[in-house]
Amino acid sequence: MIEDKLGIRLINSGFRRMDSNVGGIYLFYRDDDSDIKIISVINMQAGIELTDEQYRHILRQVKASFAVGLKRINLLNIFFAAQPEKVKSLCAEATEDSHWIIDCSANRLIIYETQADDFFGLKAVIEELLAREQEAGLPYEGLTPDFAGASIRQRRPSWGERSRTLQISPVNLVVVLINVVVFIVFQSTHLFGGKNQVIEAGGLSWYLVKEAGQVYRIISSMFLHADISHLFNNMLLLLFIGSILERVAGKVRYLIIYFASGIIAAISSMGYNMLREYGKVMNERIAISIGASGAIFGVVGSILFIIIVSRGRLEYIGFRQIVLFIVLSLYNGYANAQIDQAAHIGGFLAGFILTALLYSVKKFSVFLNDE
């Protein structure tokens, strides 16, 4: 029957099926880099009426179970109905979601003018399946739903999904590898004069940026590390939390947050050191900062914001873990004079605020898909 054939097409397109605790209501979802596509199937073949309030309640539950991070939720609701007029009121109203009807008695798709005319190419798929059913002269056979106590179960990832979440995200991995390669080439060989010369040439110095115009140091310093321990600690943390942020926020937004936080962290560091060292113009007396920790703290701040707006539903890392990490890291910076605390604080605040801005823009439907 068409319901099964449609489900097979969706699964072949990368969707996963999730059953509800109500017969006749189930979901197909696909978690992409920038959005989550959800198709809810509501089988009303038995002619049982669903009030507007019940329907809206179901939609809210569906969205709430998938509302994680900055990803946009694209929701399509498909009614399989023998009497389309009984669900017309639910599908004709203009809302942010899409509502279609498959008229099982006539094998036709009904989309009202107030609804989206397509859903990522699905309209053509449904019309093709309906045409084949009509040509074969097959009657529609559906399921009998039971709406008593209708609700949608909270989505829980399978072990396979958890494994994918724990996998390293590609863009974040590239950032980590660039840091590793830079460390090996610049500090373990003499192609560029050796370790000390590279740090002096690319490290962050407020005096050389301000007086000599060497603005490139703001970026180059983000890829330099003092030793293997410095590199290992930073990259291990970035490998973990950077992958989480990329999967939740998407590739482009991850890069925006990472580099913008790193730049703001560098500006914070320069501002602090300039106030502390103003008048000390000898190079050997001017602080030089290196490391990716400012940008990494931006990723931490971003994840903290996402956890707050997601009410703690972000997988594998929670509010307590992030807060504990921040407190321990700031204390370590306070206790260790060699750690650039200003960069840490600046990067963290930058990541938090940038994510809040991206979230508010996306929330008001101005932030378009960028993947």
Query: Residue range 196-212: average pLDDT?
Result: 84
Max Cα-Cα span within the chain: 89
Residue 371 inside a domain? The answer is: no
Percent of the chain with pLDDT over 70: 73
Residue 308 inside a domain? The answer is: yes
Question: Which residue in 98, 205, 243, 293 is the catalytic one?
Answer: 293
CATH number for the domain including 279? 1.20.1540.10
Residues 35 and 69 in one domain: yes
pLDDT in tens, 254-270: 999 999 999 999 999 99
Q: Does 344 qualify as catalytic in the annotation?
A: yes
Q: Does 225 qualify as catalytic in the annotation?
A: no
pLDDT band of residue 364 (cuts 50, 70, 90) is very low
pLDDT band of residue 26 (cuts 50, 70, 90) is confident
Residue 25 inside a domain? The answer is: yes
Residue 369 inside a domain? The answer is: no
Residue 313 inside a domain? The answer is: yes
Residues 64 and 202 in one domain: no
Residue 132 inside a domain? The answer is: yes
CA distance linking residue 283 with residue 306, whole number of Å: 41
- Domain stops at, among 101, 136, 156: 156
- Domain stops at, among 103, 132, 156: 156
Residues 180 and 152 in one domain: no
Structural domain for 28, as ranges: 2-156
Residues 137 and 173 in one domain: no
Q: What is the pLDDT of residue 5?
A: 84
Residues 230 and 354 in one domain: yes
Residues 177 and 144 in one domain: no
Residues 37 and 128 in one domain: yes
Query: Residue range 69-88: average pLDDT?
Result: 83
Position 279 pLDDT exceeds 60? no
Hey, which residues does 104 pair with through a beta bridge? none
Residues 310 and 346 in one domain: yes
Question: 81-108 burial, b if ≥16 CB within 10 A, otherwise e?
Answer: beebebbbebbeeeeebbbbbbbbeebe
Query: Residue range 220-226: average pLDDT?
Result: 91
Q: What is the pLDDT of residue 149?
A: 36
- Report the number of distinct structural domains present in the chain: 2
Residues 57 and 183 in one domain: no
As a whole number, the mean pLDDT across the chain is 77
Residue 368 inside a domain? The answer is: no
Stronger pLDDT, 369 or 25, i.e. the higher one: 25
Residues 152 and 257 in one domain: no
Residues 248 and 209 in one domain: yes
Residues 289 and 348 in one domain: yes
pLDDT band of residue 48 (cuts 50, 70, 90) is low
